[in-house]
Structures are given as structure tokens and as C-alpha cells.
Amino acid sequence: MNWPHFRHGTLSKPAVMTRLKLVTAGLLTCALLGAAQQCYAEASTSSGTAQELDAIEQSLQSSTQKQTAIATEIEAAVKAQVEISDKLIDLAKTLADQNQAIAKADAQIKSLSSEAIVIRSDLAAKQDQLSELLAGLQRLEQNPPPALVVDPQDVLQALRGAMMFGAVVPEMRAQATSLKDKLNRLQAIQTETESAKKTLNDALLALNTSQQDLKTLQDQKKLFAITAAKDLDAEKQRAETLAAQAKNLKQLLATLETAKIEAEARKTAEAKAREEAEKLKLAALSRPAVAMSEQLGKLAYPVQGDILKRFGEDNGLGSPLEGVAIATSIGQTVISPVDGRVEFAGPFRSYGQLLILNAGEGYLVLCAGMKQISAEIGQSIKAGEPLGIMGEGPSSVALIGGDTELARPVLYVEFRKNNEPVDPALWWLGGRKEAMK
């Protein structure tokens, strides 16, 4: 037999012989079965599908590694969120101290102004007496009584002058001393007022800086959670698509590559186990650090102010109140009384701006009446961390009726256990009834 010419890099004669024998045997077998063309097509399809499956498996392995890396980043982000939460708690305390300083300085200015008004009114009422006092002093200066040693001839006049001085001078001296004290006090009030105004201005500047720092930290915390969650969701969707493709291909190759399918099944199970472990780890990180049942008598009120209505009292609409209503100051920062996860944040029916915290063990904490909510749904919140700020006018919460005709904003707080309202009085710090931190 004459062999065709083979160029450099082509198969050798023995290799070609081997290939021909294999092809011939395959064709004979297919001829005997009556399906030569079908066998060849199936062989080609199986080879291509196996290569495609290998490529998908490599992509799945890469996706699993990437998910693990993203989960590690999320864990680091959660830790960073905890650090930011601690900073937010400290900043909230600073804001409360600054608000107290502002209130103290404002009260001092009002007190000094009232005192100054009283002194000025007193001086104005005694204007005639003061005029007579000054005129009398001028007359004595211009016409002093004769001294006995100077004019011994006028003894009677000297004695009369001495008697007049004995009666008039002490009273004039007392009036002059009182006038001097009041004028000195007016000067001191002016100095103290200027100092109090400077203290108030410094406190306002510090409050503005703290509020800017608060917004920066809150934005950082939101960015951590949003970015990490978005990356993980995208990678999970990609992995699910690859897994679906791999499943179809495995079914196609089930009779040819049983061992490989079993290996892939094990890999898939291991990947799911790792994913579940990461979910459990993230859930543990977001779980409240202290159980709600262990917080009796330990929780601080979310704002400072006066309690208007308590749990069980008439809400002004003919029904018992299911929470507590606290009248607070304009623009006051609202802090979280508990550790928890934000389940809802936004406007809701008669509650106005409503925030719901899941504190674990079936407990929910509802806060309503804020002007602005800074927390986001899905965030993990620590006790003492800022939740939002109060507005500048009366409460927008319709649940407490219309009998609270105050110009002050009102925060409504409600505790629920298994979706049933419970009296929050036992949880407040030291069992106190007043709304103090």
C-alpha cells in the first residue's frame, strides 16, 4: 500500500494505523447496530459536553472562592460597623452633653436678663428718691454747717447742724451704698451675660460639628453594608446560574461519567455547607449582644423629656395607650434603647415616621414621631446608637390623641412580645418613671 506524504508535525504511520483500526472497528460496530452516523454524533457531543462541564466546574470553584473572600470581607465590614457603632454611641452622649450645655447657658442668660430687668425697674421706681439724695449731697457740699472750732460764736447753729447730720447722713449713706451695690450688680450681670452668650455660641458650634461627624459615621456604616451585600448577591446569582448549567450537563453525561458526577455532588454539598456556615456566622454577628429578657431595669430612655402618657392610660381616642409618650426638646437626637436589627424604617399610617427594632426573643421596639430616621432597614444597631432626630413642632403620631396641646415634639415608644404590646416600665433604668438617660 502506498502511504500519502506526511508533512512535519503530522501523525506517523503507526499512529495512523492505530487510528484507522479504531475508526474501522467503530464503524463496523455502528453498522451492526444500524446507527453508524448516530454513534459518531453522540461521541462528538459527549466530548464537547465534557469540556464544557470542566469549564463550568472551574467557574464554580472560582465562584466559591470568591464568595468565601466576599464573606470574609463582610465579616470585616461587620466588625468595622461595630467599631462605628461604638463611636456613634460616644458621639450621641457628646450630643446629649452639648444639648444640656446649651440649655444651661440659655437658662442662665434668661435668669440674668430677668434679674437685670428687676434691678432696672427698682432703680426707675426710686428715680425721685435718688434725685433728692443727689441734690441733698450737693447742698451739703455747697453749704456745710459751721464747725464749732471755726466759729465758736454760733454754737446754736453748729449744734443744729450736728443734729441734722446725725439724722440724715446715715440714711443718705445707706441709700448711696444700696445704689452703688445695684449699679455694681448690673455691671456684673452684663459681664456674666456676655460670658454666657459666648458659652452658648461655643456649644452651638460644637453641636454643629458633632452633628456633621454623626452624619459622616452613619454614611460610612451604610456604605459598608450596601457594598458588601451587593457584591455577595451578584456572586451568588452567578454561582446559581453556573450550577444550573452544570446540573443539565451532568444529566447528559450520567451514563459516561458517574464518578465525576458524584465528585461534583460532593463539591456542591461542601459549598452549600460553607455557605450555610457563613450565613450562621453573619447571623451570630448581627444577633443582639444581650438578651432582652436580661435587660429589666437597665434600659435608658431614647430621649430626655417629660412623660405625657404611660402604658394603659387613655390615649385620647377612647382606647388604652399601648406604649409611652415622651415630650422632648426640638432637634434632640433619639438613641436606641436596645441592641437589635432594623426591620422597618419609614412612614406608616397613623404612626408617622416609624422605626421597628427586632431585639430578639420575640421582642420588637417601636419608635415613632421623629422628623428624620438615620438608620436603614437591615442594619444592626447597638444600644445607645443614634436612630434619628426629633422635629420642631407637635407630635405627628395620631395614636396619642389631640389632647397634648404642646408645641414640643413627642416621641412614642412601644414594646411588643410576640406581636402583643407589653408595659415597658419594668425595662427602664432603675425602674424610673421619668424620661432621663
Give dist(CA 153, CA 134) in Å, integer: 31
Angle at which helix 155-252 crosses helix 36-125, to 10 degrees, equals 170
- Which residues, 6 or more positions from 38, have their beta carbon under 8 angstroms from its beta carbon? 30
Mean pLDDT value of segment 238-259: 70
Amino acid identity at 64: T
Q: What CATH homologous superfamily does 11-286 map to?
A: Helix Hairpins (1.10.287.620)
pLDDT over 70 at 159, yes or no = no
Would you list the domain boundaries of the chain? 11-286, 292-431
The predicted-structure confidence for 258-282, as pLDDT tens digits, reads as follows 767 887 888 888 888 878 776 666 5
* Contact in structure between 48 and 256 (CB atoms under 8 Å): no
pLDDT in tens, 64-113: 888 888 778 777 777 777 888 888 898 888 888 888 888 888 888 888 88
φ/ψ of residue 79, rounded to 5: -65, -40
As a whole-number percent, the residues of the chain with pLDDT over 70 amount to 69
Q: Considering only CA atoms, which of 225, 200, 398, 223 is closest in space to residue 316?
A: 398
User: What's 336-401 look like in SS3?
Assistant: CCCCEEEEEEEECHHHCEEEEEEEECCEEEEEECEEEECCCCCCEECCCCEEEEECCCCCCCHHHC
Q: Is 47 exposed, middle or buried (0-12, 13-18, 19+ CB in 10 A)?
A: exposed
Backbone φ, ψ for residue 341 (5° rounding): -115, 135
pLDDT at 96: 86
- Asked if pLDDT for residue 327 goes beyond 60, the answer is yes
- Is residue 225 over pLDDT 90? no
Topology classification of domain 292-431: Glucose Permease (Domain IIA) (2.70.70)
Cα–Cα distance for residue pair 415/301, rounded to 1 Å: 12
Is 292-431 the same fold as 11-286?
no
Cell numbers 475508526 correspond to 23
- Residue indicated by cell numbers 436596645: 338
Give the separation between CA 436 and CA 335, rounded to whole angstroms. 12
Beta bridge partners of 364: 358, 416
Mean pLDDT within 227-231: 70
94-98, 218-222, 276-280, 340-344: least confidently modelled range = 276-280
More reliable by pLDDT, 133 or 64:
64
For the beta carbon of residue 424, count every other beta carbon within 10 angstroms. 20
Say how far apart CA 207 and CA 209 lie, in whole Å. Answer: 5
Looking at residue 9, what is its pLDDT?
46
Whether the per-residue pLDDT at 35 is higher than 80: the answer is: no
User: Can you give the pTM of this predicted structure?
Assistant: 0.52
| Count, residues in the chain | 437
Higher pLDDT among residues 28 and 235, named by residue: 235
